[in-house]
Amino acid sequence: MQGQVTRPFVMGICGGSCSGKSSLVAALCERLEVAPARLCFDSYYRPLGHLQPAVREQENFDHPDSLDARLFAAHLDALIDGDSVAEPVYDFARHDRSEQSRKVTPAGVIVVDGILLFHWPELVSRLDWRVFVECDPATRLSRRLARDVMERGRSEASVRAQFEATVAPMHRRFVEPSAALAQRRVAGAADLDSLADELCAELSQRLAEFGAAAL
């Protein structure tokens, strides 16, 4: 498939914490012949270095106010305009932005993901294709325990407490309603390879209609 690039095609993947977004994005990116630019909303939590560690622990990281949506939108716009950006690297053990960053270069396809991606109308308006990943709470908690304990250096007790106190309530308040904005809903517990193949085929079709770069 060949096409004339007018501007990048932006695909947005939203869903609850540990619904399977990151795994799906990775599997999808592996299937594209031309590597997409990927921007993860999880990298844009507001820095909390000015707060005491005990205070940081009490922050509600599942509320929209915890994310720097303005910076995320600015970086997404820069990629759309053909400029590279320095995506922040967030230290989830310290609840603070690290001094490092990750260079993201522009591409014909941009894939962005995040639990609250569909919350802001100004972000939704930038997305050419919106996919929502559905997953039951028990599975999401199990996955979150495995991820946060092993990868983010947190205790099991703190992960469970946070899930009950903020993750689940904020999911019901903000994330679930945003699913109505999706053009496609998928099951986060489905076979990953089959789901990625299916979405890749649909993405190819949408790109052909959009006139974006060839897969």
Q: What is the pTM of this model?
A: 0.90
CB 100 within 8 A of CB 152: no
pLDDT tier at 196 (50, 70, 90 boundaries)?
A: very high
Gap between the Cα atoms of 175 and 179, Å rounded: 7
* pLDDT tens per residue, range 20-43: 999 999 999 999 988 999 999 999
Residue 212 pLDDT greater than 50, yes or no: no
Task: Give 93-143 pLDDT, tens digit per residue.
Answer: 788 899 999 999 999 999 999 999 999 999 999 999 999 999 999 999 999
CATH number of the domain within which 120 lies: 3.40.50.300
Pick from 25, 145, 158: nearest CA to 95: 158
Structural domain span for residue 15 = 9-203
Indicate whether 213 belongs to any domain.
no
Pairing of strands 96-104, 37-40: unpaired
Would you call 50 helix, strand, or coil by DSSP?
coil
Which one-letter amino acid corresponds to residue 146?
Answer: A
Alpha-carbon span 200 to 62, nearest angstrom: 29
Instruction: Specify if 211 maps to a domain.
Output: no
In a domain, 214, yes or no: no
Surface-to-core class of residue 193, CB atoms within 10 Å of its CB (0-12 exposed, 13-18 middle, 19+ buried): exposed
Tokens matching residue 103: 């260079």
In a domain, 89, yes or no: yes
